[in-house]
Amino acid sequence: MQSGEKLDPMMTTRHDYTWGVGAALIAVGVILLLDNYLKTGWLVQLILPVSGFIFLSWGIVTRRFGLVIPGSILAGLGVGGFLAMSRFFSFSTYTRVGLLLSAFALGWVLITIFSLLLKERMAWWPLIPASILFSAGICFLMPWQPLALILYPPVGLGLVFLAWGLAERLIGLVIPGSLLLGIGPGVYFAWKEPFTGNGLTQTGVMLVCFALGWVLITLFSRVIIARFIWWPLIPGGILAMTGWGLYIGGSPQHALSFIGNTTSVSLILFGLYLLLWRTGLRK
């Protein structure tokens, strides 16, 4: 190359990827060779995490975000797979599944973390699969309740959408985030005891929780566009009145207590909003 000749960016990028792939292949070969001689049975389980960390490290060194993405995913999946399949740990099957999902979720979180170092803007999208995987993993790590899969993943995904929408001032993300925060708890708290509850009261609880999700849209809309969006209160009000009516029909003796509790929750949400607004969300 002659002096002063510029490097082709595409050629440099290809070289970066080639070095990363080459290093990963060497590591895989060494692991397979060692396993053939040592007959450990577990060295093969290190192929994914080692390859992932090689890609991740090389992406950080060369500042190539395209290498960080597969590196983080492979590292998280590999570590989770090692914890789930390793014979060194006497975990139950549920715990192994929970560790696999949680570690895999951490791999996606790493993409967001390193995006802050390598890019000008934070990458929010990896937090979507991360929230679903981590929330599902919690369900397996805690005492097993199948209905918890309906509570934690929607709440985790809703929090991600809500945080993303508030940070980037996107009302299109705040809407599904708020709704998910109402849907998950609504289904869970209404139907967690399906054989002992009253069908009318359970449906009433579910609809009122759905209504609170619509109320959140109105509250957080002012943070984004500096004014309240009132139309979500229409479906929210309809759902709340219908839910209260069903609950009263199914359990009239507890109706006043239920209405009072849900009203208190609404006041708490509005109070939290005012505190957040006062302390800097409006900035």
Q: How far apart are CA 20 and CA 2, in angstroms?
A: 27
Determine the Cα–Cα distance for residues 154 and 179; give it in Å rounded to an integer: 9
pLDDT recorded at residue 50: 84
- How far apart, in whole angstroms, are the C-alpha atoms of residue 83 and residue 89? 8
Please give the angle made by the CA atoms of 202, 205 and 210, to the nearest 5 degrees: 125
Distance CA 188, CA 183 (A): 9
pLDDT under 70: residue ranges of the chain? 1-25, 27-42, 193-197, 251-266, 269-270, 272-283
HEC secondary structure over 173-219: HHHHHHHHHHHHHHHHHHHCCCCCCCHHHHHHHHHHHHHHHHHHHHH
Q: How far is CA 151 from the centre of its chain?
A: 13
Residue 275: what pLDDT?
64
The predicted pLDDT at position 223 comes to: 78
- Six-digit token string for 41: 């049975």
Alpha-carbon gap, residue 238 to 27, rounded angstroms: 61
What was the pLDDT predicted at 159? Answer: 95
CB < 8 Å & 24+ apart, contacts of 228-237: 229/171, 232/175, 235/211, 236/211, 236/212, 237/211
Euclidean distance between CA atoms 55 and 74, whole angstroms: 9
DSSP structural state of residue 8: P
pLDDT of residue 7: 41
CA angle, 241 as apex, 158 and 262 as ends, to 5°? 55
Domains of the chain, residue spans: 19-144, 159-283
pLDDT tens profile 150-204: 899 999 999 999 999 988 889 999 999 999 999 999 889 888 866 455 778 888 8
pTM score of the predicted model: 0.78
